[in-house]
Chains A and B, each alone.
Chain A
Amino acid sequence: MLYSKFLKMHIQTSMQYRFNTIFIGLTQAIINIGEVLSVYILFSQFKSVQGYGFYECLLMMGIIYTVFATAECFARGYDEFHKLIKSGEFDRMLIRPVNIHYQILGSKIELTKLTRVILGIILVIIALIHLNITWNILKILVLISTFICGFLIITGLFIISATISIFTIEQFEFVNIFTNGAKEIAYYPINIYAKWMTRIFTYIIPVACFNYLPLSYLLEIGNIPMWLCAISPLLGMLFIIPCIIIFNLCLKKYKSTGT
């Protein structure tokens, strides 16, 4: 399969600079550990916020780290799409007889992000040990679909950011509001923010679907109907469909930079 060849190629390139890959990978994890530490310090001063304690937030951080880093690792091509346009590499992709999304996905696989994936999974495990959750098959399914939903939503956001750079070529800093904003907002229960912010990150960018809502189901708290919380990750997954459609529509307007 073509993708496995891409993957092999990226593994080989990063292994050429082994020290650099490992060093960057570790620092990526250190940045996140710094954030976890700050949340820990915050909760040692304030015991809880809206009924959420440290381990509930740790679970949310673990989930968002895992899905965000997975998306950054495998969907990096969209995240750095402006570079593809600038270098003219994208023009070359357009004339190849392979699906364009397939090529963008294969153009960059950022293996240094894997340390964050591992860290995220460790955090989730630590949090789950400390939280009293009575498990059943449905809950396990919800947890798994939460991860898939998160990955798809973050990838969707990267696709939107790539779509914007079709027109702007440069990557604008405010796109960060949606990608990194979605990440930061997912550390804490989403209803502590202002109504308008909660609404944006529930209905427009459905961050709540892999964060607050499924967690309400797992922990059996909150006053949102449980069945809705349980299927929320499935609804969140749909987010990526309009993202791809918009990208494809805007692609028709693409003008080469001439590089």
Chain B
Amino acid sequence: MNKSYFGIFKMEFKGELQYRSKAISGMLTQLFWGLLQIYLYTAFLNETPVDGFSISQMATYIWLGQAFYVMRYITVPKEIGTSIVNGNVSYNFVRPLDLYNNWFCENLGQKIASTLLRFPLIIILALFLPGNLRMYGPVSVTALLLTILGVILGTCISVAISMFTVYITFKTLSEKGASGIVSTISGLLGGMIIPLPLMPQSLQNVINYLPFRFISDLPFRIYIGNVGISEGLIFLSIGLAWLIVLIILGKLLLKSALKKTVIQGG
């Protein structure tokens, strides 16, 4: 059984690697967005500095965000969304695979492949940018290891949250609407629209325990040294607990949605 999920994962992975020109064009876009944001927040930080989040830490945070953009981005997975809207999803019902696991692997495969394709070049470019624009290395080797752990956990949480968009698509038959709402919420609370360290402390105290910040904010902050090692370990375990809760919740919701799904023949 496990083999078939691995097969799905591998298939999606190879599929993503086909789109090289798309990846290059995407990378240029990411570079531009990175610069745009760094200039913007530099202007803010120049007027009022924030403790534990200097301009160079901010630039590193932004570049990590751009490098792992695909992994952070919450959307209805491409083919799953269309298949729900046009009804092809019903083929999946007769397959002897668990639908949730199947889609989870598919989505994870896509995310990992396009991230692997994009992130090395962006990081290399970002490391060699001049002045305040450049990205810096991790604060320590332990921090780097924790960051890698955190990114893996974050990717899984990102996929688990994406599965909720699949549920909303089932309910509303509108993939755009579903990913719009969920990605806005997770973008705001996950530090993708503005870095969480730039938010007021009172707000951060709440957001830090919500699942969205574990997608990318936590690993990036461990990397730049804004969150210490021991604190990082505690948060990583909270993130793991969230992942389990999200997966269980997602499975239950999908089951309830499938019960009410009517296939209109054809």
- A residues within 8 Å of B by Cβ? 19-20, 23-24, 26-28, 30-31, 33-35, 37-38, 41-42, 44-50, 170, 172-174, 176-177, 181, 184-185, 188, 192-194, 197
The answer to whether A24 touches B200 (Cβ under 8 A) is no
A19 to B194 alpha-carbon distance, docked (Å): 32
Least Cβ distance of A188 to chain B in Å? Answer: 6
Nearest-CB residue, chain A, relative to B38: A194
Nearest-CB residue, chain B, relative to A51: B47
Least Cβ distance of A83 to chain B in Å? Answer: 15
The answer to whether A173 touches B35 (Cβ under 8 A) is no
Nearest-CB residue, chain A, relative to B175: A24
The 8 Å CB contact of B188, one of A26, A37, A47, A174, is: A37
The answer to whether A27 touches B44 (Cβ under 8 A) is no
A26 to B181 alpha-carbon distance, docked (Å): 9
The 8 Å CB contact of A194, one of B33, B39, B181, is: B39
Q: Does B177 contact A (CB under 8 A)?
A: yes
Residues of chain A with a CB closer than 8 A to B173's CB: 20
The answer to whether B184 touches A45 (Cβ under 8 A) is no
Residues of chain B with a CB closer than 8 A to A181's CB: 32-33, 36
Least Cβ distance of A201 to chain B in Å? Answer: 10
The 8 Å CB contact of A193, one of B26, B36, B181, is: B36
Least Cβ distance of A16 to chain B in Å? Answer: 13
Residues of chain B with a CB closer than 8 A to A48's CB: 47
Contact A194/B48 with A27-B177, A176-B29 known, Cβ cut-off 8 Å: no
A31 to B240 alpha-carbon distance, docked (Å): 28
Residues of chain B with a CB closer than 8 A to A192's CB: 39-40, 43
Contacting A at CB under 8 A, from B193-227, are 193-194, 198-200, 203
Contacting A at CB under 8 A, from B69-125, are none
Residues of chain B with a CB closer than 8 A to A37's CB: 188
The answer to whether B193 touches A38 (Cβ under 8 A) is yes
Q: Does B22 contact A (CB under 8 A)?
A: yes
Residues of chain B with a CB closer than 8 A to A19's CB: 172
Least Cβ distance of B27 to chain A in Å? Answer: 9
A181 to B40 alpha-carbon distance, docked (Å): 13
Nearest-CB residue, chain B, relative to A23: B177
The answer to whether A173 touches B39 (Cβ under 8 A) is no
The answer to whether B25 touches A35 (Cβ under 8 A) is no
A173 to B26 alpha-carbon distance, docked (Å): 5
Q: Does B150 contact A (CB under 8 A)?
A: no
Contact A45/B200 with A23-B172, A172-B25, A194-B35 known, Cβ cut-off 8 Å: yes
The 8 Å CB contact of A28, one of B50, B180, B193, B200, is: B180
Contact A174/B193 with A30-B180, A194-B35 known, Cβ cut-off 8 Å: no
Least Cβ distance of A258 to chain B in Å? Answer: 21
The 8 Å CB contact of B48, one of A31, A46, A50, is: A46
Q: Does B54 contact A (CB under 8 A)?
A: no
Least Cβ distance of A250 to chain B in Å? Answer: 19
The answer to whether A35 touches B193 (Cβ under 8 A) is yes
Nearest-CB residue, chain B, relative to A41: B199
CB<8 Å pairs between A and B, sample of 20: A24-B180, A27-B174, A27-B181, A28-B180, A31-B184, A34-B185, A41-B203, A42-B44, A42-B194, A173-B26, A174-B25, A174-B28, A174-B32, A177-B32, A188-B43, A192-B43, A193-B39, A194-B35, A197-B36, A197-B39
The answer to whether A34 touches B40 (Cβ under 8 A) is no
Residues of chain B with a CB closer than 8 A to A177's CB: 28-29, 32
